[in-house]
Amino acid sequence: MSPDQPTVLVVEDEPAQREVLAYNLEAEGFAVSRAETGDEALLLVREDTPDIIVLDWMLPGVSGIEVCRQVKSRAETRGIPVIMLSARSEEVDRVRGLETGADDYVIKPYSVIELMARVRSQLRRTRPGAVGERLEYEDIILDAETHRVTRDGRALKLGPTEFRLLSTFMEKPGRVWSREQLLDRVWGRDIYVDTRTVDVHIGRLRKALCQYDGSDPVRTVRGAGYALG
């Protein structure tokens, strides 16, 4: 998988439904992990934080509602969008689903196309660069679809690693990223890369961003990492 590919956790106890969902999400370019039970889902969320969770309501053991409640009650996982799937259509269930903090709610049987659209819509908010959105920060524009970056209207030459670094920064301007977090996001956690490599590529990114003068928008935060702005 490419490291900036958005990751989706599918939590569904029916094997056929789980596989159809996973298959379609993979076809859309997502990296998919699967859980059959609520316990397994909670474990996976802790071990390898996904970008979004598609969560069945009715699960054996820990229910989807409880999984959602726990995900939304922890600061580290609260920001992960949760789309709840349910076979029940009663209004009362809908309300309860939303009260647990679910970001969206889809009633079974659902159209896969509709569900994919909802997944993308949630990710447009939380991982805009990863779903091909155009990102803007001051005079910098990054088009994830065409892989073009401009500053003050002029095209910038950027290597693929610098592009992913910039996309990560531009999704959350002001957020301070540690070197380890940048390694996970930009290089992928399966590859061993020395944290000093991050510094090297930050240097290249800075050079690229300032190739037609303009101030350096990347901020070094002593003892913490880097941020855009």
Which range touches Ca ion (CB under 5 A), out of 6-14, 132-140, 184-192, 221-229? 6-14
Q: How many residues bind Ca ion (CB under 5 A)?
A: 3
Which one of 56, 104, 133, 171 is in contact with Ca ion (CB under 5 A)?
56
Does an H or E element contain 43, and which? Answer: helix 38-47
Binding flag, residue 133, Ca ion (CB under 5 A): no
Distance CA 182, CA 5 (A): 14
Tell me the chain's radius of gyration from C-alpha atoms: 19
Cα separation, 71 vs 58, in Å, equals 17
**Interface residues for Ca ion in 154-213 (CB under 5 A)?**
none
Structure tokens at 94: 């809908």
13 binds Ca ion (CB under 5 A): yes
In DSSP terms, which residues pair with 86 in a beta bridge?
107
Q: How many CA atoms lie within 13 A of 11 on its CB side?
A: 32
| Contact positions with Ca ion (CB under 5 A) in 61-80 | none
Stretch that binds Ca ion, among 1-9, 40-48, 49-57, 107-115 (CB under 5 A): 49-57
Q: Which is nearer to Ca ion, 88 or 172 (CB)?
A: 88
The smaller minimum CB distance to Ca ion, of residues 36 and 162, is found at 36
Residues 6+ apart with CB under 8 A from 228: 137, 166, 169, 170, 173, 174, 175, 217, 218, 219
CB-based contact 208:142 (threshold 8 Å)? no
* For Ca ion, the closer CB: 25 or 166: 25
Q: Which is nearer to Ca ion, 68 or 140 (CB)?
A: 68
Shortest gap between Cβ of 116 and Ca ion (angstroms)?
A: 20
Nearest to 116 by CA among 1, 3, 8, 5: 8
In whole angstroms, the minimum distance from the beta carbon of 99 to Ca ion comes to 20
Q: What share of the chain is helix, strand, coil (3-state, %, to 5)?
A: 40, 20, 35
Nearest to 54 by CA among 83, 34, 81: 83
> From the CB of 13, what's the least distance to Ca ion, in Å?
5
Q: Which stretch binds Ca ion (CB under 5 A): 9-17, 103-111, 142-150, 165-173?
A: 9-17
Q: Which of 58, 62, 193, 227 binds Ca ion (CB under 5 A)?
A: 58
Stretch that binds Ca ion, among 13-21, 22-30, 41-49, 125-133 (CB under 5 A): 13-21
Mark the segment that binds Ca ion (CB under 5 A) among 50-58, 113-121, 152-160, 197-205. Answer: 50-58
Name the site residues for Ca ion (rule: CB under 5 A): 13, 56, 58
